[in-house]
A and B are shown apart, each in its own frame.
Chain A
């Protein structure tokens, strides 16, 4: 049972374009939604995160949009650069568990063409 579904599996964007990655979750108890970025041969790194009390969070060129009623959230990368080429994972957790356990999506491989 995949509790967090991520799409698309892969994405090719031209330099300067907008990259959009979507995630949907099932468990309404989830209340923390981070995104991780992973370069080849490296471990994932926390990129940005959001809680359901806000609909959008922006950090530089990276924005998370959150739709609580649809149980969906998405990552937007504005002005995409070749250096953004990586695999992106969304995740979800419920803070009430007090465990730090994260449920990850399947990942999206982004390629930004120069």
Chain B
């Protein structure tokens, strides 16, 4: 999986609890992304990062926050988990840089299956 790992791989949590998912890469790529995958919706972008401490929102960012203090780690936090956040979460990295067509070639991690009860 292109030097990208996600942890945990599975998690069950209760409504209202905070949850943090971790994405770790060994490729030293600048761009990283968090997606959620739900049946009938494909993959939807939650947040992305274009460098250390540089992040921006995607199309479904409400209820999520991210942080990137090191190039290799991109954290996704659900401040207070809700049942609607039950999903499979994927992290992706891109070897491209701004202005490069390789920016749109994304490599995905194995995913984290999160269940909020």
CB distance from A8 to the nearest CB of B (A): 13
Please choose the segment from B14-22, B44-52, B67-75, B77-85 that sits at the chain A interface, where 4 or more of its residues have CB less than 8 A away.
Answer: B44-52
Nearest residue (CB) in B for A51 is B101
For chain A, the count of residues having a C-beta within 8 Å of the partner chain is 26
Candidates B42, B58, B94; contact of A107 at CB < 8 Å: B42
Q: Are B105 and A34 touching (Cβ within 8 A)?
A: yes
Q: Is the CB of A43 within 8 A of B104?
A: no
Query: Which residues in chain B, 25-58, are within 8 Å of chain A measured between CB atoms?
Result: 31, 33, 40-45, 48, 50, 56, 58
Q: Collect the chain A residues with CB atoms within 8 Å of residue B109's CB.
A: 43
Contact assessment for B31 and A89 in the assembled complex, using a CB-CB cutoff below 8 Å: no
**A interface, CB within 8 angstroms of B:** 4, 6, 9, 32, 34, 36, 41-46, 49, 89, 93, 95, 98-107
The 26 sampled A-B contact pairs (Cβ below 8 Å) are A6-B42, A32-B101, A34-B104, A36-B108, A42-B110, A42-B111, A43-B110, A45-B108, A46-B107, A49-B104, A49-B105, A95-B101, A98-B98, A98-B99, A99-B48, A100-B94, A100-B96, A100-B103, A100-B106, A101-B33, A101-B45, A101-B48, A104-B42, A104-B44, A106-B40, A107-B42
* Chain B residues close to A by CB (< 8 Å): 1, 31, 33, 40-45, 48, 50, 56, 58-59, 90, 92, 94, 96, 98-99, 101, 103-111
